[in-house]
Structure 1
Amino acid sequence: MECLKQQVSSSAKLAQSNNCDIAIKEANDFLEGDLRTKLEHFFKDSNLKKDFEIPPTLVAMPIYSALAKNLNNDDIYHTIKKDSIQKARKIKEFLKKEIDIQDEESLLKFGIYCAALGNVIDYGAQLKFDLEKEKDSLFNMQFKYFDIESFQEKLMYAKNLLYIGDNAGENELDEILIEVLQCLNPKLAITYFTRGQSIINDITIQDLKKSNSNLFNMCDVVDSGIGTPGFIPDLSSAKAYEIYNTADLILSKGMGNFESLESFKNPKIFFLFKVKCSVVSDYLNADIGSFVFLDSSKYRGSYVD
């Protein structure tokens, strides 16, 4: 949970509140002792099973709820999210010009790389990002896993795809991959999940509306009802739960969604993210800073933080 402690500390200081030290102490105190009992009490009205494997994203929700209350700020990252979206939108417009010059064989790879580039944006992680610098080396990205063949095969027969979004800003570059997917499978129905409420710098429907996102014109955008920085089916809204369970294919963006969904062993999921912490790095045997496009049906690990 060391990564989470660092995130909380950075978030509290970002708010520039007089209660910063108190908020950090309360967060650290929460992480001590019988964590499962504390979480069961916090999520007492949920459908979480008693033997549920606890991902760090689940722990983040009660901590950030308390943090927001202590700091009197429900959206600490509001300005950062707005700036990230604006910056990514400029890069998206530049990259979209390249779509027309890609042949069909390289088009999907191009879309995946663009979406992966978007995952560089993450103020909740340990590493700083330089999106402009990353853009210049787009096709030199180092992927530990790149299961494009199996994804392409499943995409061909899929009628509907669930795209689970992650951070504010990367949604702009998700648009490029979504456009590519619709080009390769014109009959494909796509649903894009956002977070159910503001937490760290994760994208919400409100963020998309305020930024006049084009996603609303491209696919069905759904508030997942999730208040954690990662999609956990048992905590989602009834609508989101149904969409998740009936999707032919699922594209999960970001490390938080990987941490939340990996234990479900859903063979329909492909994970796409940049490795940003040592725990995930060791678990996947992938260097920090490398990228992953992973077919979950081929990987059967057991992630524990």
Structure 2
Amino acid sequence: MRIPQSCAECLYKRQKNKTDHAEYLAEIKALLDNRSENDTSPYMVYLFNKVHIRYFGEAADYSAIKKKYNDLVLSMEDSLRNEIDSAADPLAKAMIMARIGNYIDFGAMNSIDRDEFLGMFCNTDMREDDRMVYASFLRECADAENFLLICDNCGEIVLDKLMLEQLKKRFPQLKVSAMVRGGSVLNDATADDARYVGLDSVAEIVSNGEAIAGTVYEMLSDEAKNLLDNSDVILAKGQGNYESMSGQGRHVFYEFLCKCELFTTRFNVPKLTGMLIEEK
């Protein structure tokens, strides 16, 4: 089962922390109790939001939070770009910074600590275990024509932009696309958010077609399916994309921080450990 009982309990607890509405919570519990073997956490949150809208008229509004963290990282952009440009391997440095950006996740984190986030930039060196996957990533990009970045959170997408700048310098033959969420869900990035931070200056922005915090192939728009099917190299950011895409038989590189028990247990690492994974 892709959602173990511990995850189901966590998902329910997060909804209970938002409201004590008995009927609403009963429906949430029923959805979790009747989940299928192939359901993922992003899909369950998508269903929760449908129920939330029915009871409360609208989904939770994260627009102020999204702007706050986009603006925070935009204020750091010039200094981080200078640090990247002066690195021995600018692309490697930019990829580690982009992974740090995955911290800004209001779906997986109980709380976001600004100081903790900023402190993570004190160590932006790539670990040795990352370097083996990174070497494969470079080989794949060298032979590729179409590159797809599947984005995750606001704030994080500013760092994704810096990473894509370096990717295009290293591999100028690449046609780069960035897939974002098709509607507002948590603090995940949409096309409007991508344009706000200037991600459209380094990539063609494509909506996945749904307000879902993951990439569920059956729910993608035809345009997004075509892009996913025809990209030579795919880099998917965040736990939600990993949960919804892994084990599907695709060759995908994943980059994320392990922010919850499911991931720290699965990879046997401490909380907030960064992962760079290749799945073939």
Q: TM-score, with normalisation over the residues of structure 2?
A: 0.88
Q: Deviations over 1:229-284 (max 9, x none)?
A: 111122100010000000000000000000000121312x1000000111122222
Aligned-CA RMSD value = 2.1
| Matched letter for residue 151 of structure 1 | F
Question: Gapped runs of 5+ residues in structure 1?
Answer: 14-18, 37-51, 298-305
Is residue 167 of structure 1 aligned with residue 153 of structure 2? yes
Is residue 115 of structure 1 aligned with residue 98 of structure 2? yes
Is residue 257 of structure 1 aligned with residue 230 of structure 2? no
Q: Is the CA contact 1:160–1:189 (under 8 Å) kept in the aligned structure 2?
A: yes
Provide the residue aligned with 1:65 in structure 2.
Answer: 50
Mapped to 2, the partners of 1:167 and 1:215 lie a distance apart of: 13
Correspondence for 2:266 among 267, 283, 288: 283
Is residue 4 of structure 1 aligned with residue 5 of structure 2? no
Mapped to 2, the partners of 1:288 and 1:218 lie a distance apart of: 32
Provide the residue aligned with 1:302 in structure 2.
Answer: none
Mapped to 1, the partners of 2:14 and 2:177 lie a distance apart of: 29
Mapped to 1, the partners of 2:128 and 2:186 lie a distance apart of: 26
| Matched letter for residue 288 of structure 1 | K
Q: Deviations over 1:266-305 (max 9, x none)?
A: 12x10000001111222222332111000112xxxxxxxx
Provide the residue aligned with 1:42 in structure 2.
Answer: none
Is residue 199 of structure 1 aligned with residue 182 of structure 2? no
| Matched letter for residue 197 of structure 1 | G
Provide the residue aligned with 2:5 in structure 1.
Answer: none
Is residue 91 of structure 1 aligned with residue 76 of structure 2? yes
Kindly tell me: are residues 218 and 231 of structure 1, through their superposed partners in 2, closer, same or farther at Cα, counting changes over 3 Å? same
Correspondence for 2:176 among 165, 190, 211: 190
Is residue 241 of structure 1 aligned with residue 258 of structure 2? no
Three-state SS of the structure 2 residue aligned to 1:264 is: coil
Mapped to 2, the partners of 1:54 and 1:95 lie a distance apart of: 38
| Matched letter for residue 227 of structure 1 | A
Is residue 28 of structure 1 aligned with residue 29 of structure 2? yes
Three-state SS of the structure 2 residue aligned to 1:119 is: helix
Question: Percent identity, aligned pairs only?
Answer: 24
Three-state SS of the structure 2 residue aligned to 1:98 is: helix
Q: Is the CA contact 1:156–1:185 (under 8 Å) kept in the aligned structure 2?
A: yes
Three-state SS of the structure 2 residue aligned to 1:94 is: helix
- How far residue 25 of structure 1 moved from its aligned partner, in angstroms, is 4.1
Mapped to 2, the partners of 1:65 and 1:143 lie a distance apart of: 43
Mapped to 1, the partners of 2:129 and 2:10 lie a distance apart of: 22
Question: Gapped runs of 5+ residues in structure 2?
Answer: 1-7
Mapped to 2, the partners of 1:228 and 1:135 lie a distance apart of: 29
- How far residue 142 of structure 1 moved from its aligned partner, in angstroms, is 6.5
